[in-house]
Amino acid sequence: MAYVINGLTFAMMLFVLSAGLNIILGFLGVLNFAHGALFILGAYVTYAVTQTLGDFWLGLLIAPLVVGLFGMLIEFVFLRPLYKRHHVYTILLTFGLILVIYDIIKIIWGSDVKTVVTPPLLSGSFTLFGEIIPVASVFIILVGVLTAGGLWFIFKKTTFGKILTAISLDREIANALGFNVARRGTLAFGLGALLAGLAGVLGSLKLSIAAGVDAEFLIYSFAIVVIGGVGSFRGTLLASLIVGEMSVLGGVFLPELSMSLIFVLLVVFLTLYPRGMFGREIEQMHVPVVPYLGNVATAFQRLSATQLSLLSSLLVVALLVVAPLALPKYWTYLLAEIMVFALFAISFNVLFGFTGMLSFGQASIFGAGAYTISLMLIHVTGNWWLAFAASLVISTGVAVIIGLMSIHRSEIYFGMLTMAFAMLFYSIIYKWNSLTGGADGLSGIPSPVLKFGFTEVEILTPLANYYFILVVVAICYFILRTIMNSPFGQVLLAIRENPTRTEFLGLPVKKYKFIAFVIAGVFTGVAGALFAPFAGTIDALASHWSKSGEPIFMSLIGGISTLIGPGVGTLFYYVLHSYIVSITEYWQLVMGSILITVVMLFPMGITGYAKKFILSFKSS
């Protein structure tokens, strides 16, 4: 029974947090990755209030309000302008907010672990049927129940709640009826953030307080919202109970599998019951990621689009060939790493920029390629070709599995399902210590030794590594370029612009999407296979779902409307990141701010704006 009570306590904390996420996702359609950061912010504000005023109960009152107001500010200033755009922009913006919030916390409260002093009223425990029940646990359960009751009252009995429900069902009609949709959206986000802050107060009674502690809570609350169903608090409550109990009981009876079980459940629901237990479908408008800019070749009268594209690609390769002659050693090394991640980003963009599919699962394919080649080279064979072939087979296999199960979902559901797969893959990598090294990963991965008949070429020096990577990445790029310039690539573009219309033209959209996913997976696997021997190390974090955010960011910076755009974005991101990390310890604040600025003000990316400039220059 003690386990059940403990599971219930954890479940209630998760419910309060997840209810907030559900409001934001259900009523605004925003997948708020900063929700965990708002949770830990609530805990920190509670700490600040109890430290300065010596009263936890004031913290209980103040912290949710502060976080709620902060949430409203975020929505009004940063999110609202992005609603008309593709949902990737709001997602990336919330990624940027995480970084900014973490460093704001660091600046105000420092990096040390903190705790909140438990008030005397909640410090004790009592015995029930021979089991010890902490008073704080009862309090958390009570707050969870009151929250559930409060939400029921707001959304069933108040005008505000009913209007919000109406807006979530059909925004256009609600707008046409004269409701101030924008203002109510801000209030809804504020309510969601307030609940995150309240969850933070509850968390402060049980947890240590440090930025990063929220990561697990974000994943759990995301799973709960999906399993319970978007827009349903009844579903959120039930799902919280399931996840909470699974987590506690799983940790006791099945510690090896407890982490993975929840993600398996998530995958099952997203694949078979995307609406969840009691939810509804999220209203999704198909919005092109970026507007069509036109054919830049029209600005160059003597060249066709293909010729111009080929020329520019060859120019880039030529520059990369001669770059080591001009660059210092470190930049040669960095450029090699940039090329690997450029391939990662370019292959991601086959899905996103060319097909309109936002996948958060690419890191798992990258990881599959990286781990396979590492294990082969360490334990099985020194033959790089064999190891590389094995890594291609495995990473392609992972792409096929994820693709087969995800393709049937569209837009935000596709993104969530690929993310769920990434979480599942990460949990397997993390727990399978004996094979993968768990959290510490593998090190001492040997450099490639290429066997050509009786000859061997060892890729040992940084320069050799550089040119080896350049050759492989260049070949991959030209293969991708050929594919994207073919009729197949044109169909993908059509799907990106309007999948329904493409379907009506008689083209099997799902089949094309699946093939695109596998193609992207193949080259993502190549990137992983290149990276691990290059770095000499690989760990579980390379497969974490958040790692999938990097190619998204790099693609947006560089521009998703061209194949080379993500490559340019990768270069920009790495140079900037390398520089900023070396000059300030508050690099998260700087990088997060840059990400937010790019997302809000420069959605077309570097190559997109270059294209636009060339076209407008020529036309003037």
Partner 1 sequence: MAKKDKKSTLMGGHIDRRGFFKKSGLISAGAVGATLFSPLGTPFIHAKAKEPIKVGFCEVLSGLFAGIGTAEQKGAMLAEKHINASGGIMGRPLKVIYEDTQCKAQDAARVAKRLILEEDIVALHGETCTSVTKVLSQVARKYGILHWDYEVDGTSAYKEMHKLDFRLGDDGPTQMRGVVRLAERKYPKFKKWAVLVPDYAWGHDCLKDFQDAVANSTLKGGEVKPFLHKFGEADFSGIIQQIADYQPDGLVTISWAGDMVTFLRQQKPYKLYDKMVGFHYGNSVGICKAMGDQMVPLWSGMDQGHPSLPPGKKFNELYQKAYGEWVSEDTAACYYDSLMILKKAIEKAGETKPMAMAKAMEGLEYSGYAGWLKIREMSHLPIKKAYHMGYMGPVPGAPYWLATEIVPIPYGEVMVTDGEARDKFGMPIPFKS
Instruction: Determine the interface stretch with partner 1 among 147-155, 234-242, 400-408, 534-542 (rule: CB under 8 A).
Output: 534-542
Site for partner 1 in 371-430 (CB under 8 A): none
CB 306: neighbour CB atoms within 10 A? 11
Tell me which residues in 299-338 interact with partner 1 (CB under 8 A). Answer: 328-331, 333-334, 337
Select the residue interacting with partner 1 from 53, 121, 177, 182 (CB under 8 A): 182
Pick the binder of partner 1 from 295, 433, 482, 490 (CB under 8 A): 433
Where does this chain touch partner 1 (CB under 8 A) — which range of 143-151, 389-397, 499-507, 535-543? 535-543
Size, binding site for partner 1 by CB under 8 A: 89
Q: Is 259 in the site for partner 1 (CB under 8 A)?
A: yes
CB atoms near residue 600 (< 10 Å): 18
Tokens 């005008």 belong to which residue? 159
CB of 504 to partner 1, least distance (A): 26
Nearer CB in complex with partner 1: 6/355? 6
Asked if residue 291 binds partner 1 (CB under 8 A), the reply is no
d(CA 396, CA 392): 6
Of residues 86, 171, 496, 513, which one binds partner 1 by CB under 8 A?
171
Among 58, 69, 73, 213, binds partner 1 (CB under 8 A): 213
Closer residue to partner 1, CB minimum distance, 36 or 403: 36
Angle between helices 181-204 and 159-169 (to 10 degrees): 110
The position carrying tokens 């090329």 is 339
* Residues 367/425, Cβ–Cβ less than 8 Å: yes
Tell me if 536 contacts partner 1 by CB under 8 A. Answer: yes
Q: Which positions ≥6 away from 175 have C-beta within 8 Å? A: 181
Report the alpha-carbon distance of residue 568 to residue 572 in Å, rounded.
Answer: 6
- Encoding tokens for residue 36? 């965990």
- The owner of tokens 């694949």 is 271
- The SS3 assignment for 176 reads helix
Judged by CB under 8 A, the residue of 20, 119, 144, 185 near partner 1 is 185
Footprint (CB under 8 A) of partner 1, residues 26-45:
28
The answer to whether 398 and 364 are in contact (CB under 8 A) is yes
Nearest alpha carbon to residue 188 among 71, 92, 101, 283: 71
Distance between terminal CA atoms of the chain?
Answer: 77
Rounded Cα distance, 54 and 307, in Å? 71
Residues 130-159 binding partner 1 (CB under 8 A) are 132-136
Contacts with partner 1 in 96-125 (CB under 8 A)? 102-103, 106, 110-115, 117-118, 123-125
DSSP 8-state assignment for residue 380: I
Task: Indicate which single residue of 52, 158, 208, 482 sits in contact with partner 1 (rule: CB under 8 A).
Answer: 208
> Of the listed pieces 175-183, 225-233, 381-389, 414-422, which binds partner 1 according to CB under 8 A?
175-183
- Taking the least distance from each CB to partner 1, the nearer of 80 and 612 is 80
Q: Assess 601 for contact with partner 1 (CB under 8 A).
A: yes
Q: What is the CA radius of gyration of the chain?
A: 25
Length of the chain: 620
- Please pick, from the candidates 158, 304, 581, 616, the single residue that binds partner 1 as defined by CB under 8 A: 581
Kindly state whether residue 50 participates in binding partner 1, applying the rule CB under 8 A. no
| Nearest by Cα to 556 from 597, 609, 497, 606 | 606
Amino acid at 295: N
Residues 434-473 that bind partner 1 (CB under 8 A): 437-441, 443-444
Q: Does the footprint of partner 1 cover residue 73 (CB under 8 A)?
A: no
Q: Could you say which of 65, 166, 210, 400 contacts partner 1 (CB under 8 A)?
A: 210
The encoded tokens of residue 178 equal 């004269």
Out of 309, 465, 588, 607, the only residue in the binding site for partner 1 (CB under 8 A) is 588
Q: Does 620 bind partner 1 (CB under 8 A)?
A: no
From CA 474, how far away is CA 468, in angstroms rounded?
A: 10
Give the Cα separation of 93 and 24 in Å (integer). 14
